[in-house]
Structures are given as C-alpha cells and as structure tokens.
Amino acid sequence: MLEGGIKTNNPRGRSTRGFHLLGCIADRSRINDRREIILALGCIADRSRINDRREIILALGCIADRSRINKKKDKFAKLLQHPYNTMRIWKTKEGSKIVQVLKGRSNSYIIVKECSVILIDTGKKSAFKLLTWNMQSNNINLKDISTLILTHTHYDHCQSAKQIKSISNCNIIVSDSAAESIKNGYSKLPYGTSLPTKILSALGNIIGKQKFGYDIFKPDTFVKGDYDLSSGRGNIKIIETKGHSPDSISVIVDNEIAIVGDAMFGVFPNSIFPPFSDDTSGMVESWGKLLQTNCRIFLPGHGKEIRRNLLEEQYFKHCLK
C-alpha cells in the first residue's frame, strides 16, 4: 500500500482484500441462495396456481355437467308438459280403457282391460324413453304388456318392437303380408298421393333401410283376414284395412272405438286422406269396412281422433270420384 506516496508492506492489507473477496463470495452465495429461494417459491407458487387452476377447471366442469344435466331434465320436463305429449284417455261402455302413450309424429295406444295390457304400435326408436315414461305415468310397466299389435310395419310404427319384446316377452301380432318385410328389417315406403309426397316417397326409398329400417324381430302371430282377440281381453277384434300398405290392419275395441293406424290421417282439417298410400281405392274400401262397425271414434297413427261423421263424409266424397 501507499502511505503519503511511500510504498509500505502491510500484511493486514492482504487479509483485508481476502475479507473483501470472501465477503463478495458470501454476498454472491446469499444472492444465489435468495435466487434459489425465489425460484423455489416461484415454482411452488406456479404449482399452486396450476393446482388452483385445475381445481377451478374441475369445479367449473362439475358445474357445467350439472348445468347440462339440469338443462336436459328441464327440457324433458317441458317435453312431457307439451300439448303434443298430453295423454288422452277413452273409455268404452264395456269398461275397456284406451290410453294414448305417444302423440305427435306417430301415435301409440295401450288398451287396458282388467289385467290385460295391449300395446298398439311402438313409434320410432327415438321415442322409446318417452313411451316408457308415459306408460309409467299411467301406472303401467313395459313388463305388463301381454300383446303388441302392429297396425303395419313402417319404421315409425314398429322400430322398438324388438326391444319391447325382449323386456316383456309379449305376443307380437302382425298381418301375414308383413312376413317378408320383417325378415329384411325394412318395409318399403308407400307411394305419395300428391306430387310433393310422391317425390318424398321416391327419395325415401332410395335412402331405404339405412334411415327407414328397424331391428329384425320375430312375430308370434300372423293374421289373415279378420281375427278375434276377445278371449280374456274384452271384445277386441282385428280387421284387414289394406290401402296405405298391404299389411295394414285395424283394432276394433268393444265395437265402439277403432285404432286404425295409417288407414286414415287426423292431421289435416276436414280431411282424413293420407299423404301416402300404396292403393288409394283399396284404402277407401277399407273406410267402408270400418263404417260397417258401430265405432264412433277412430284413432289414427298420426294426428287427432276422427269422428264417424267426418269418416262418412270423406268416404262418400272419395267413392264418387
């Protein structure tokens, strides 16, 4: 070191430099330790934030799932309350009760007589849950079904037949004219009765089984001509009502109410003429056959109930053409 411009030997200077050096190393060590601590805390904080985010995301997911479930429940509840789903009930003088268990695009009915439950048509597969719900709302379980009658085997009337058979082991009744179609799981769509429906029918048959097919099921009874189902089930008869399709049949309950499938439509005001029919003249003849019964109410596969006076009016109108 220099003191007053004269160089001197000071052993303490070396130690001072050593202390300074050690101090710097210690400071750096402390700084590095702090950095490590800060980094460590940062990692912990980051992990904490990540975990918090995960928990938030999971919580939001649960809320979203519950919200979706609640929305589905609300939607189903609204569907059940919709006027199109309001179940109508008809009673005959003989004590048979007919309940509409599907309504809208396709109608399904159950006939209840004492301990016997007969289902008429199943509707589409997409309506199966609603069908089940409506039956249970009327204190009827699918397992209670003893007989399933299909008014014909178009997809919108029989798509759940196999499923219902597997649950209830019911006796399935169809027209003998449906045998080949059932083996294929597809019944050809009928011709249109107007230009627009003729086009729709042609397009539908091009698409074919892919959209309009059904699971192959095994019927227990094939009927030809009139068939009496009265034993233990009240006064119930099946009659052929061909026209809309070759395998169309109708169910006559206590000679008061007829469930007619697509032999007539209750969709259009002041008309019962279906938009689709393979044989329109044969269909009109079937109307005459239904008029030979004493039935006052006719329940179609689509639309509202049809009264006898409208059927008479339409029958004579189309007979004169």
Single-letter amino acid code for the residue at 106: S
User: Dihedral (C-alpha) 223, 226, 227, 232: value to the nearest 10 degrees?
Assistant: 160
Give kind and range of the element (H or E) at residue 34.
Answer: helix 11-81
CB 241 within 8 A of CB 226: no
CB atoms within 10 A of CB 202: 12
pLDDT value, residue 71: 61
Tokens describing residue 320 = 């004169």
CB 300 within 8 A of CB 309: no
DSSP codes joined into one string, 69-122: HHHHHHHHHHHHHSGGGPPPEEE-TTS-EEEEEE-SSS-EEEEEETTEEEEE--
CB 214 within 8 A of CB 204: no
CB 234 within 8 A of CB 94: yes
CB 250 within 8 A of CB 259: yes
Instruction: Note every long-range contact of 203-212, with CB atoms under 8 Å and residues 24 or more positions apart, other chains counting.
Output: 209/184, 209/185, 212/154, 212/155, 212/186, 212/187
pLDDT value, residue 115: 80
Tokens describing residue 221 = 């009874």
Which positions ≥6 away from 120 have C-beta within 8 Å?
108, 109, 110, 111, 148, 149, 150, 151, 251, 259
**Residue 142 has what DSSP assignment?**
G
| Rounded Cα–Cα distance for residues 277 and 266 (Å) | 15
Closest CA to 311 of 236, 84, 300: 300
| Rounded Cα–Cα distance for residues 79 and 74 (Å) | 8
Number of H helices, E strands in the chain: 9, 15
Tens digit of each residue's pLDDT, the chain (321 residues): 434 443 444 444 444 454 454 455 455 555 566 665 555 556 555 555 656 666 666 666 666 566 665 665 555 455 544 544 568 999 999 999 999 999 978 999 999 987 889 999 999 999 999 999 999 999 999 999 999 999 999 999 999 999 999 999 999 999 999 999 999 999 999 999 999 999 999 999 999 999 999 999 999 999 999 999 876 556 999 999 999 999 999 999 999 999 999 999 999 999 999 999 999 999 999 999 999 999 999 999 999 999 999 999 999 999 977
Which positions ≥6 away from 195 have C-beta within 8 Å?
none
pLDDT value, residue 1: 43
pLDDT value, residue 19: 46
pLDDT value, residue 11: 46
| Rounded Cα–Cα distance for residues 37 and 144 (Å) | 73
pTM of the model: 0.74
Which CATH superfamily groups domain 81-319? Ribonuclease Z/Hydroxyacylglutathione hydrolase-like (3.60.15.10)
